[in-house]
Structure 1
Amino acid sequence: MSAYLIPIKSAVMAFPFIAFFVSLPFMVGQYRKYGSFLFWRAVVLYSFVFYLLAAYFMIMLPLPSVASVAKLTTPHYNLTPFMALRTFLKTTVFVPGEPGTWLAALKQPGFIQPAFNLVLTLPFGVYLRYYFKRSLKQILVLSLALSLVFELTQLSGLYGIYPRPYRLFDVDDLIINTTGGLLGGLIAPALMRAFPTREAMDAKSYARGTRVTWLRRFAAFLIDNLVGVGLISLVLTLLARLFGVTGAEVDTLISAFVAPLLVFIIAPALNRGATLGKRLVGIRIVREDGQPVEFWRLAYREFLLYGFAKYVLIGFNQVFVALFSQFHRTELNWALFAILGVGVLFLVANLLWEVVTLDNHYFYDVWAKTKQVSTIHAKQ
Structure 2
Amino acid sequence: MSFLIPIKSAIITFPILAIFILLPFLVIQYHRYGSIVAWRAVVVYTFIFYMLSAYFLIILPLPSIQAVAKLTTQRYNLVPFMALREFIATTVFNPIHPGTWLPALKQPGFIQPFFNIVLTIPFGVYLRYYFKQPIVKIVFYGFCLSLFFELTQLSGLYGIYPRPYRLFDVDDLILNTFGALVGGVIAPFLVKAFPSRDQMDKKSYDRGQKVSLLRRIIAFIADYVIVGTLVEIGMSLVGLASLADNPYLSYFISTLIIFILIPVFTHGQTIGKKLVKIRIVKRSGTPAKTGQLILRQFLLFEIAIPTLWGFNYMFVQVFSKMHQSQANMILLGVLSVAALFVVLNFLWGMIFKNGYFFYDVWAKTTQISDVKKPRK
TM-score of the pair, normalised by structure 1: 0.92
Q: CA RMSD in A?
A: 2.1
- Aligned residue for 2:238, secondary structure, equals helix
The amino acid that maps onto 1:354 is G
What do the CA deviations read for 1:296-324 (whole angstroms, capped 9, x no partner)?
Answer: 22222222211222222222332344455
Aligned to 2:312: 317
Aligned to 1:57: 56
Question: What does residue range 21-170 of structure 1 map to in structure 2 within 5 Å?
Answer: 21-170=20-169
What do the CA deviations read for 1:75-132 (whole angstroms, capped 9, x no partner)?
Answer: 1101111111222222223232332332222222222211111111000000111111
Aligned to 1:223: 222
Matched, 1:13 2:12: yes
Matched, 1:257 2:252: yes
Query: Could you tell me whether the CA contact under 8 Å between 2:260 and 2:298 is conserved in 1?
Result: no
The amino acid that maps onto 1:137 is V
In 2, Cα distance between equivalents of 1:47 and 1:114: 25
Unaligned runs of 5+ in 2: none
**Aligned residues, how many?**
375
What do the CA deviations read for 1:183-214 (whole angstroms, capped 9, x no partner)?
Answer: 00000111231111111111111111210111
TM-score of the pair, normalised by structure 2: 0.93
Aligned to 1:361: 356
In 2, Cα distance between equivalents of 1:18 and 1:154: 23
Please say which of residues 106-115 and 49-58 is displaced more in the overlay: 106-115
Aligned to 1:211: 210
Unaligned runs of 5+ in 1: none
In 1, Cα distance between equivalents of 2:336 and 2:111: 65
Compared with structure 1, are the counterparts of its residues 106 and 352 closer, same or farther at alpha carbon in structure 2 (3 Å cutoff)? Answer: farther
- Aligned residue for 1:286, secondary structure, equals strand
Aligned to 1:267: 262
Aligned to 1:301: 296
In 2, Cα distance between equivalents of 1:304 and 1:8: 51
Query: Could you tell me whether the CA contact under 8 Å between 1:237 and 1:254 is conserved in 2?
Result: no
Query: Could you tell me whether the CA contact under 8 Å between 1:236 and 1:254 is conserved in 2?
Result: no
What do the CA deviations read for 1:339-366 (whole angstroms, capped 9, x no partner)?
Answer: 4344444333333333334711122212
1:373 counterpart (348, 368, 372): 368
The amino acid that maps onto 1:84 is A
The amino acid that maps onto 1:262 is I
Query: Could you tell me whether the CA contact under 8 Å between 1:232 and 1:259 is conserved in 2?
Result: yes
Query: Could you tell me whether the CA contact under 8 Å between 2:80 and 2:171 is conserved in 1?
Result: yes
TM-aligned CA deviation for residue 62 of structure 1: 1.0
What do the CA deviations read for 1:139-177 (whole angstroms, capped 9, x no partner)?
Answer: 000000000000000000000000000111011110100
In 1, Cα distance between equivalents of 2:70 and 2:343: 64
In 2, Cα distance between equivalents of 1:337 and 1:104: 81
Query: Could you tell me whether the CA contact under 8 Å between 1:34 and 1:206 is conserved in 2?
Result: yes
TM-aligned CA deviation for residue 249 of structure 1: 7.1
Please say which of residues 28-37 and 353-362 is displaced more in the overlay: 353-362
In 2, Cα distance between equivalents of 1:356 and 1:97: 73
Please say which of residues 290-299 and 332-341 is displaced more in the overlay: 332-341
Aligned to 2:346: 351
